[in-house]
Structure 1
Amino acid sequence: MFNLVIFGPPGAGKGTQSAKIIEKYNLAHISTGDMFRMHITQETELGKKVKELLAEGILVPDSITINMLEEEVNANPDVSGFIFDGFPRTVAQAEALDEFLKTKNEKIDLVLQLDVNEDEIKKRIAERQKVSGRADDDASKLIKRIDEYFQKTVHVLPYYQEQGKLVKIEGIGEIETIFSNITAEIDQYI
């Protein structure tokens, strides 16, 4: 089994590249953002709480996120591996993910960081908002989400770097070129 984490700030292209990785390598995609949106759309109790937190631009607490993620992994026992998109966002989440995977005799094999500057991120999210209408791309919340990434989430990267699992990929350029760079890294592990 091959397990991959894809990192990058909002608008870095994680969703676009994840879709291509899933298709090529037959991995199950676990996106905390997609899980949150599903719960919000279905108006579950969890969805109402998540909607409230996201509306304020606050990260969803670890306990909620980890429980949802474990449910998703357990629901897909026959896959070739997982791509974790939007998780972990804190060192505590990374440690919890490692502990959970260890109970399944698994581990994170590779962590890809899509490197994109803030100006490009803002441009991409403005374009995405026109098409998707995603509430979490609202300009007033965008700055908070970017700040959350650069103040909190980036601190997870050294955790994986110390394990020799982190690879930085230039996230600006043609989608296919970026994907080619990603596959060159993944192919070394598969």
Structure 2
Amino acid sequence: MKLVLLGPPGAGKGTQASRIVDKYNVVHISTGDIFRKNLSENTPLGKKAKEYMDQGLLVPDDVTVEMVEDRLSWPDITDGYMLDGFPRTISQAESLDKILDKAGDKLDLALCIEADYSLLTKRITGRRMCKCGETYHVEFHPPKVEGICDKCGGELYQRDDDKEDTVVKRLKEYEEKTQPLVDYYEKQNILKTVNGSRTVDEVFEDISKILDECK
């Protein structure tokens, strides 16, 4: 089973991705992880990406695509994989299709978790982090003592990415760049959408039905 995971920030992709990996034994391929690995190991692709990052520039598509193509050549993906964070644009999706076509392969499914933007904003802006790695939410998962981590007693903070003005920009960017992917995969008849506004268990129940049919 080879799938792409889509959805706006705050839709719960990370939570559902973990459950999909556990239940269906697919390899979770996150572009963030690929970048970190190439940078930490100082690979040729990592060096190329670092040149752009050091200048404060976005890493161009061709470098990202090369990293993904390299990752898809690893032997651990023979039982299936789930791409998360790639593709983000139509151009990247077309590049992915070419990579798979060259290998005589294709995607089975594009799974999109959708949710109302007002709920997504509420979810993201309410998140609070601790330096120890624990995550909280002021409404849905508050700490026992406001502003203090239950686990280590550290002071909780809000990431800059989770502040309202940044969240609005992130959602707008998703709408402009990534939302067209939904139409792209719908035309290929491999798109399935799930309502991410409900509880984690309810969302995963729907995802499981889709993946069971796909298998």
User: TM-score scaled by structure 1?
Assistant: 0.84
Larger Cα Rg: Structure 1 or Structure 2? 2
Cα 1:119–1:36 change in 2 (3 A) is farther
- 1:156 corresponds to which residue? 181
Residue 68 (structure 1) aligned with residue 60 (structure 2):
no
Code of the aligned partner of 1:8: G
Structure 1 unmatched ranges of 5 or more? none
Moved more, 61-70 or 138-147: 138-147
Moved more, 171-180 or 65-74: 65-74
Code of the aligned partner of 1:107: K
The answer to which structure, 1 or 2, has the higher relative contact order (CA under 8 A, 6+ apart) is 1
- 2:143 corresponds to which residue? none
Code of the aligned partner of 1:70: E
Q: How far apart in 2 are the matches of 1:114 and 1:85?
A: 12
Maintained 8 Å contact 1:26/1:79: no
The structure carrying a bigger helix percent of its residues is 1
- 1:181 corresponds to which residue? 206
Tell me the CA shift for residue 108 of structure 1: 0.8
Structure 2 unmatched ranges of 5 or more? 130-134, 137-156
- 2:112 corresponds to which residue? 113
User: TM-score scaled by structure 2?
Assistant: 0.75
Moved more, 162-171 or 132-141: 132-141
Structure 1 segments, 4+ long, off by >6 Å, are 40-43
Residue 4 (structure 1) aligned with residue 28 (structure 2):
no
Q: How far apart in 1 are the matches of 2:166 and 2:50?
A: 18
Tell me the CA shift for residue 128 of structure 1: 3.7
Q: How far apart in 2 are the matches of 1:186 and 1:87?
A: 19
Maintained 8 Å contact 2:4/2:84: yes
- Tell me the alpha carbon deviations over residues 3-26 of structure 1, each in whole angstroms, 9 at most, x when there is no partner: 111110111111111111111111
Q: How many aligned residue pairs are there?
A: 184
Q: How far apart in 1 are the matches of 2:124 and 2:39?
A: 21
State how 1:34-113 maps to structure 2 within 5 Å. Answer: 34-37=33-36, 45=47, 46-47=49-50, 49-50=52-53, 52-53=56-57, 60-113=59-112
Maintained 8 Å contact 2:125/2:167: no
- 2:32 corresponds to which residue? 33
Calculate the aligned-residue CA RMSD, in Å.
2.6
Cα 1:86–1:100 change in 2 (3 A) is same
Match of 2:161 among 130, 137, 144: 137
- Tell me the alpha carbon deviations over residues 76-135 of structure 1, each in whole angstroms, 9 at most, x when there is no partner: 445311101111111111111111012222111111111111122222222445338795
